[in-house]
Amino acid sequence: MDMETDPGLHCLQTPDDYFSMLSDEIVLTIFQWVPKFVLAKCARVCRRWSRLVIDESLWQRLDLSNRTLLPGVLGHVLGRGVSILRLAKAEILGPVFTGVTSVINCTRLSRIQYLDLSMASTTTSVLEEFFCICKDLRKLSLENCTVNDKICGYIGENKNLEVLNLAMCQGITAAGLVPITTNCRKLESLNMGWTNLHKHSIVYLCLCLPQSLQNFNLSGCRENITDDEVKQLVKTCPNLRELDLSDSTAITCESIHLIASHLNHLEHLAVSRCYYIMPTTMPVLGQINSLVAVEMFGMLKDTALRQLRETMRGVDINKFPFSCVARPTTGIRRTSIWGLRVRDNLA
């Protein structure tokens, strides 16, 4: 049997490596369609592939949610030049940097701008090590994580920060809020819901938040926020479009009048379970032409709800039970954060 009668034998014996004829640019374009876990295997094929698979163009976005990151793995990821990173519900083991991974190099190379750490399982020491190299964050979620003043200080170094989700975070103090409110003057969306803030921390926030703020969640403050704080808040942040004060059990109808007279651009207001607010006061919000939705869950019986809807026509009442302020993922979208894809094809 010869090669002419057996084409398969010819294929086995041909010495041509067609992949080597392709330029690096074309190979990188092909690799962009390859899942991340396959790229790791491609690195073992040859030196050229090993060099190409670490090209930063292949690692702009990465989804490591629900994964366990062993010591040093996160440092390697940062060294690849990732800019959009989802670590929601991930378990991150420290230290962040091990072996040849240098914190100095990663500080120089770190390009991360969009970071989702919602409900991640890790320690404050790991977060400190992580955030000390993050200087250009635009959007950040630390929902249900434990932080401290040092971590908040590092967050405050990101002067271009636009969106910050600290909902249900533990360890936030007035001292930790100072660098954030002082330096992050471009903030547009801030979620501080259910963070167990002390009274003086709430007073400080209402005094020092940036005027750029458009969406603010301060729910769950119970009796620690009163009409006085609301009065200061609407003066400090006159451009608010969405405000959530749910479960603020000490605010009264006066707060509704303050909101109606100061927040001319308000679109969405949530005051669920604010039991000192009388439903009959709510129609005063009709003077806000931009208002489209009001949440008053737990405060209205069916008859009163129907009457309020009749009075406030054009405004949705009790349509959105959950706040979306600053949250990276909402609804069924789990392949993107803040509208930015984190998965490339099958990755």
Structural domains of the chain ordered from first start: 19-58 (1.20.1280.50)
Query: Helical H runs in the chain?
Result: 7-13, 24-31, 36-42, 47-52, 73-79, 103-109, 124-131, 149-155, 174-183, 199-208, 227-236, 253-262, 302-311
Confidence grade of residue 100 (pLDDT, cut at 50, 70, 90):
low
Worst-scoring range by mean pLDDT, 30-34, 242-246, 305-309, 342-346?
A: 342-346
Average pLDDT over residues 287-305: 94
Confidence grade of residue 39 (pLDDT, cut at 50, 70, 90):
confident
Among residues of the chain, what percentage have pLDDT more than 90? Answer: 70
* Mean pLDDT, the chain, integer: 89
Using DSSP's 3-state secondary structure scheme, residue 185 falls into coil
Confidence grade of residue 25 (pLDDT, cut at 50, 70, 90):
confident
**Crossing angle between the packed helical segments 199-208 and 174-183, to the nearest 10 degrees:** 10
The residue type found at 172 is I
Confidence grade of residue 47 (pLDDT, cut at 50, 70, 90):
confident
pLDDT of residue 121: 98
Average pLDDT over residues 43-64: 80
pLDDT at residue 342 is higher than 90 = no
Can you tell me the distance from the alpha carbon of 94 to that of 70, in angstroms, rounded to the nearest whole number?
7
pLDDT of residue 26: 84
Would you say the pTM of this structure is higher than 0.85? yes
Query: Beta strand pairing status for 340-341 and 336-337?
Result: antiparallel
* Residue written as token pair 């490596």: 17
pLDDT of residue 176: 97
Confidence grade of residue 11 (pLDDT, cut at 50, 70, 90):
very low
